[in-house]
Structure 1
């Protein structure tokens, strides 16, 4: 199942979660602010994937972030919502 990394204090994450639920997209929500284990999991992804290069250069966090079943990383929900809506 696709992993959704975010936090409940991030407006973009909350909006993405609501929109994806409404579109019927299945995901495993991982709140990076509730445990150091979740944070470490996200930071490992962020620190090892080139998809985050521009995000880090801009000084951003990179959430909402999605790790798809095929290993692809998607930052932001727009592309996933477009895909879900066909």
Structure 2
């Protein structure tokens, strides 16, 4: 699901609620960052903070 957090306050709140409880964001929050941009794959199976580390071919499998 694509979510544009700049579209409205509701979308931003949805993202922040997910971020606040997802363990993958722990290091991001502790370093004072928001955690954007990120790509969430398969309902949270993988969360990517740096798109250059994303292996598109691996995702297709």
TM-score, normalised to structure 2, is 0.73
Q: Which has the higher strand share?
A: 1
TM-score, normalised to structure 1, is 0.55
Alignment of 1:1-86 (within 5 A): 3=1, 28=2, 30-72=3-45, 73-80=47-54, 83-84=55-56
| Relative contact order higher in (CA < 8 Å, ≥ 6 apart) | 1
Provide structure 1 residue ranges, at least 5 long, that are not aligned to the other structure: 4-27
- Displaced runs of 4 or more, over 4 A: none
